[in-house]
Structure 1
Amino acid sequence: MIEPRTTRPTVTVRDDPARRVFLAVLDDGTEAGGAYYRRRDGVVTFTHTEVSPEFEGQGVGSALAVGALGAVREAGERVVALCPFIKAYIDRHPEQQDLLVDPS
């Protein structure tokens, strides 16, 4: 028996500064999750990340982390990872650790 192949949703990450969140947006416009932050003096402090339960385990959180950290890097900003999800993502991806204000 062949198992049906599950496809990962296509995720676009966009910054919504008014809401202070990087949003994971699916092709159909659904907001599948968000990485909430505070921004001050070139430092983005990630405080909380959430993915809607129906999209958990489908790579949305990782896509959100990649997009949010990429936007921070592109803006020349640094990161404080108070959010356990973002912290764990950075810990698993050494190429992102240079974004940390205090990598220890």
Structure 2
Amino acid sequence: MSENKNIEIVHNEGQKRFVISVDGTPAGFASYLDGPDIRNFNHTVIKPEFRGQGLSAPLIKFALDDARESGIRIHDACSAVAGFIQKNPEYKDLKN
């Protein structure tokens, strides 16, 4: 990820997704379905023009940190989220 870019990640609760923007332009998202005390992360997308910039890891980390802070367990139906958790075992305790 380039250090010269302004990266912002926000939780859009209305759309049930976490959105990452680069210099004010939406670059991707991690979407989820809600259940009682669980977030099922089902899809992560980085737009083609932003791929290869290392954006998915901070996006997923932000989403998982938000779930932890909210006391919500997660299900990793999305392969990107599952892969991130496999590489970062400190998040395994969030899995339902």
Mark yes or no: TM-score above 0.5. yes
Unaligned 5+ segments in structure 1 are 1-5
Q: Which residue in 1 is equivalent to 2:11?
A: 15
Q: Deviations over 1:37-95 (max 9, x none)?
A: 01121100001000011111111101101111111111110100000000010011100
Q: Which runs of 5+ in 2 are unaligned?
A: none
1-structure distance, mates of 2:63, 2:7: 12
Structure 2 match to 1:24 = 20
8 Å CA contact 1:11–1:63 kept in 2: the answer is no
Q: Residue 48 of structure 1 aligns to a residue in which SS?
A: strand
What count of residue pairs does the alignment treat as equivalent?
Answer: 95
Over residues 6-64 of structure 1, what are the superposed CA-to-partner deviations in whole Å (9 max), with x where a residue is unaligned? 725442221111111111122x3211100010112110000100001111111110110
After TM superposition, what 4+ stretches of structure 1 lie above 3 angstroms from structure 2? none
The share of aligned pairs that are identical, in percent, is: 32
Q: 1:25, 1:31 within 8 Å by CA — same for their partners in 2?
A: yes
Normalised to the residue count of structure 1, the TM-score between the two structures is 0.84
Match of 1:72 in 2: 67
Q: Is the Cα–Cα contact under 8 Å of residues 14 and 23 in structure 1 kept in the other structure?
A: yes
Partners of 1:76 and 1:86 lie apart in 2 by 18
* CA RMSD, 1 decimal: 1.4
Question: Higher helix fraction: Structure 1 or Structure 2?
Answer: 2
Q: Which amino acid aligns with 1:12?
A: E
